[in-house]
Structure 1
Amino acid sequence: MRATIERATLLKGLGHVHSVVERRNTIPILSNVLIEADEDGGIRLMATDLDLQINERVEANVADPGATTVSAHTLFDIVRKLPEGSQVELIAAENRMQVNAGRARFTLATLPRDDFPVIAEGELPTRFELPAATLKQIIDKTRFAISTEETRYYLNGIYIHVSDEAQPVLKAAATDGHRLARVTVPRPDGAQGMPGVIIPRKCVGELRKLLDEVDGTVQVSLSDTKVRFDLGSAVLTSKLIDGTFPDYSRVIPTANDKLLKLDPRAFEEGVDRVSTIASERTRAVKMALDRDKITLSVTSPENGTAAEEISGDYAADSFEIGFNARYLLDILNQIEGDSVEVHLADAAAPTLLRENDKAPALYVLMPMRV
C-alpha cells in the first residue's frame, strides 16, 4: 500500500476513529486502526472495540491500493505533531508501515488486515432520517441522566422508542434512578413499528462528537440488536444494550399541584452559589418555598451555612424540600427559555421540571432528605 494524504484530512479522520479505541486492550488488534487505500483515490479508516465501530472515508492520492492495521493512538499522536500543511506519505509492506512527512520518518509495526474484526450488522429493517440538529437536541437534553452504575446495565444508555399519542412521536429517555430526562420529537417517516432500543453511553458520546460536523440529516438504521448512523463520510455502528428499559412513564408525576415559576438563570446561579459550601458526600440544597419567595440554603457540618433568596411566582402552601445540587444544576443547564416551571407535590414526591407544557423536554427529580 502506498498513499499520500494531507495532514489536516488525515488528522480529522483519525480524530474521529481513534477515540473508539480503548487505551488498554487484551486483544492487540483492537488497539489498531484499519487503513484501507483503494483505487478510487480514497482511504478508509476503521476502528472498533467489538461493541462500537466507526468507519470513515477520507480523500487521498493512492499510488498502490492495499490495507494494513497500525496502532491508532500512536499514529494519531504522530500526525498531530507533524507540521501544519504537510503531505503525509503512508507506505505499508512486510509487517511495517512507514509514515513520512517532510524530513520526519517513522516506521511502525503493523498487524494483518485479515485479523481485523468487523461488526456484522445483519438486517437493519427500520430506517429513517433525522436532522442533525434534532439528534443533537435529543442527546444534549438526556445524556447527563444516563446511569454509570454497571450493575444496572439497562440504564447505561438512552432509550429511544415510538409512541402514538395525539400525533405519532419519537421519544428518548435516560435515567439513573435519581433523575429522569425525556425528549419528545415528531416521529420521522420510516420509524413506525420500530423496536424500543437502548443506545449505549459510549456510542452516544461518539455520535455527539461527529454531529458537530454534520449540517443536514443523519440516516438511522436499526434492528433490535444493532444501530447504524450514516453521517456523510463517517458511519457509526453499535451493538444495542440487551436489556429491558423500565416503564419510566410511571414515575412522571401528573398530579403535582404546587406550581413554582422561576427565571432559570437566577435559579441556577443561586443554587450554584449556595452549593459552594456543600460537602461532596451530600451535595444537598434546601428550598424553602413561601409566597413569591424562595430561600435556598445549604448546611455543611465542615464548612458552615449559606443562604440566598430568589424571587419566583409561587402561590401554594409553604413547605421545604431538598435536592441534590449537582442534579438540579444539570437539569437547569438544559433549560433554554426565560422561565422554568417546577411542579411540586410534597417533600418526598418526585418533582417535575420543564419550560412549559409545550416544551419537547421534561425532567423528573427525586428529592433528598435535608
Structure 2
Amino acid sequence: MKIITEKSALLKPLSHIQGVVEKRNTIPILSNVVIKADEDGLSLSATDMDIDILEKFNCNVINPGSVTVTANIFYDVVRKLMDGSEIQIEFNGGTASLISNKSKFQLPVLPVEDYPNLNQDDLPINFKVTVDELCKLIDKTKFAISMEETRYYLNGIYIHKHDKKLIAVATDGHRLARTSISLPSGADLINGVIIPRKAIYEIRKLIEDFSHDDQVSISLSDSKIRVKISNTIITSKLIDGNFPDYEKVIPKNNDNIVKLDCLVFSESVDRVSTIFSDKSKSVRLSLSKNNLSLEANSPDTGSASEEIGITYDKDDISIGFNSRYLLDVTSQIGSGDLIMALKDSGSPALISLPDDTESLFVLMPMRV
C-alpha cells in the first residue's frame, strides 16, 4: 500500500476517528484505525464495539492495500506536522512508514484480518434532518444526560415521536430538558430509542463542520442508529432499556410566572457562585414584586448577593437551585427573555422561552 495526501485532508477524519477509539483497551487491535486504499480513494474506520465510524476521502493512491496502526499516535503525528504538508504513507509488511518533508515515522501495525468487521446492514427506518435541526435536538438536551452508570437508561437522549413532532429528552433525575422538531418524512415508525452519550457527542462533533442546511441521513432499528453526512458514517448501538415516563415530572400548575433577561440572569448567577470552589453549590433566589435577589453562602469562602430587575407580581418566594444547573440552562437560551414558572419553594421549576415553544427545562430545587 502506498498513498500520498495532504495534512488537511487527513487530519479532520482522523480527529473524528480518534474520538471513537478508546485509548486503553483490553483488546489491543481496538486501539487501531484501519487504513484502506483502493480505486475510490482512502477510507479510515474504527470501532470500540459499541460505535463504528467510517470516513472516506480522495487521495493519490499509488498502490492499493490496507493496514491498521495505533489511532491516537497516528493522529498526534499528523496533527504536529507543518500545515500544508504533503504526507506519504506506505506499508510493505512489518511497519507502516509515514514521510512528510524531512520527517519520517515508523508505526507498528496489526493484521487487518484481526480487526472486527464493521456492520453496514440496512436499517428499516430512514429519514433526513438538517444539521440545524439535529444540532437543536442535541444541544438543547445533552447537558441533562445522566453520568450515573447505575441508571444506564438515563445515559443518553431519548428520541421519540408525538403529535407529528420528533422529540428529544434527557434527564439525570435532578433536571430535565426537552425539545422537538417537525416529524421528518419516514420517521413516523419510530417507537422510541435511547442514543448513548458517547454516540451523541461524536455525532455532534462530526456535524459541526457542516452548514446549517446540509442534510443528515439517519437510519434506525430497535438496536442501532446510523448517521451519515457527506462521506462519513457513524453507527452506534442503542441503549437497551426503558426511558421513564418523563411527562409525570413536568410541572402542570406552576402559576407564579417570572420573566427576566436570560443573559443578565446568567451573568448574575455566575458572579455570586464565584465564591464556591465548584459550581454545584446552591444559589438562593428570592422573588418579590419586580425584583430578584440572588444569594450564595459558603462557610469556608464567604458569601455573595446581587439584585436584578424582573417582571413578577405574585407572592414572595424563596427557592434554591444548583448554580451549575442554572448556568447549563441559560447557556442554551443565550440572549433574550426567559420564563420561569414556580409553584412554591419545594417544587420543581419550569423554564421556557417566549419564542421557542418546542423547548422546556425542569429543575429540581435544592435546600439552601
Query: For the residues of structure 2 that align with 1:336 and 1:46, how far apart are their CA atoms?
Result: 37
Shift of 1:107: 1.5
TM-score, normalised by the number of residues in structure 2: 0.96
1:175 aligns with 171
Deviation, structure 1 residue 278: 3.1
Equivalent position to 1:320, from 300, 318, 321: 318
Q: Which one of the candidate residues 306, 309, 312 is aligned to 1:308?
A: 306
Which residue is 2:251 aligned to? 253
Give 1:226-305 correspondences, 5 Å limit: 226-278=224-276, 280=278, 283-305=281-303
In 2 relative to 1, CA 194–281 (structure 1 residues): closer, same or farther, beyond 3 Å?
A: closer
2:51 equivalent to 1:55: no
What is the letter of the counterpart of residue 293 of structure 2?
T
Q: Counterpart in 2 of 1:356?
A: 354
Deviating more after overlay: 349-358 vs 258-267: 349-358
Residue 279 of structure 1 deviates from its aligned partner by 5.2
CA displacement, residues 107-159 of structure 1 (integer Å, 9 cap, x when unaligned): 21111111111342544111100000111111111111111001111111111
Higher deviation after alignment, 234-243 or 110-119 = 110-119
Match of 1:207 in 2: 203
**Contact 2:279–2:323, Cα closer than 8 Å, also in 1:** no
Kept in 2: contact 1:274–1:298 (CA 8 A) = yes
| Mapped pair 1:2 → 2:2 | yes
Normalised to the residue count of structure 1, the TM-score between the two structures is 0.96
Change (3 A) 1:193 1:225: same
Three-state SS of the structure 1 residue aligned to 2:218 is strand
Cα displacement (A) at 1:99: 1.0
When the two structures are aligned, how many residues end up with a matched partner? 366
Residue 279 and residue 111 in structure 1: after superposition, are their counterparts in 2 closer, same or farther (change >3 A)? closer
Contact 1:121 1:226 in 2 (8 A): no
Structure 1 residue 9, shift from structure 2 partner: 0.6
Once structures 1 and 2 are overlaid, which stretch shifts more, 331-340 or 152-161? 331-340
Alpha-carbon distance change, 74 to 212 in structure 1, aligned in 2, over 3 angstroms: same
Cα-Cα RMSD: 1.4
Task: Return the alpha-carbon distance in structure 1 between the equivalents of residues 230 and 356 of structure 2.
Answer: 33
**Structure 2 partner of 1:110:** 109
Note the residue ranges of structure 1 that are not aligned, 5 or more in a row: none
Contact 2:67 2:110 in 1 (8 A): yes
Displacement after TM superposition at 1:221 (Å): 0.3
The answer (yes or no) to whether the contact 1:354–1:363 under 8 Å persists in 2 is yes
1:128 aligns with 2:127: yes
Report if aligned partners of 1:337, 1:355 keep a CA contact under 8 Å in 2: no
1:34-67 Cα deviation digits (max 9, x unpaired): 0000123x10000111101110001111111111
CA separation in 2, counterparts of 1:100 and 1:69?
17
Partner residue of 1:343? 341
Mark the runs of 5 or more structure 2 residues left unpaired by the alignment: none
Is this contact kept in 1: 2:258–2:312, CA < 8 A? yes
Deviations 1:175-196 (A, max 9, x none): 1100000011100000002121
Give the corresponding residue for 2:151. Answer: 152
Residue in structure 1 matched with residue 184 of structure 2 by the alignment: 188
State the identity as a percent.
Answer: 48
Q: Name which of structure 1's ranges 358-367 and 172-181 shifts more when overlaid on structure 2.
A: 358-367
Alignment partner, residue 71 of structure 2: 72
Query: Match for residue 43 of structure 2?
Result: 44
Q: Cα distance, 1:356 vs. partner?
A: 2.2
What is the distance in 2 between the residues matched to 1:22 and 1:353? 37
Cα distance in structure 1, aligned partners of 2:130 and 2:97: 40
Whole-angstrom CA distance in 2 between matches of 1:70 and 1:311: 59
Question: Residue 351 of structure 1 contacts residue 367 of structure 1 at CA under 8 Å; is this kept in 2?
Answer: yes
Instruction: State how far apart, in whole Å, the 2-side matches of 1:63 and 1:279 are.
Output: 57
Query: SS of the residue aligned with 2:336?
Result: coil
Per-residue CA deviation, residues 59-104 of structure 1 (Å, 9 max, x unaligned), is 1111111111011111111111222222211111223211112222
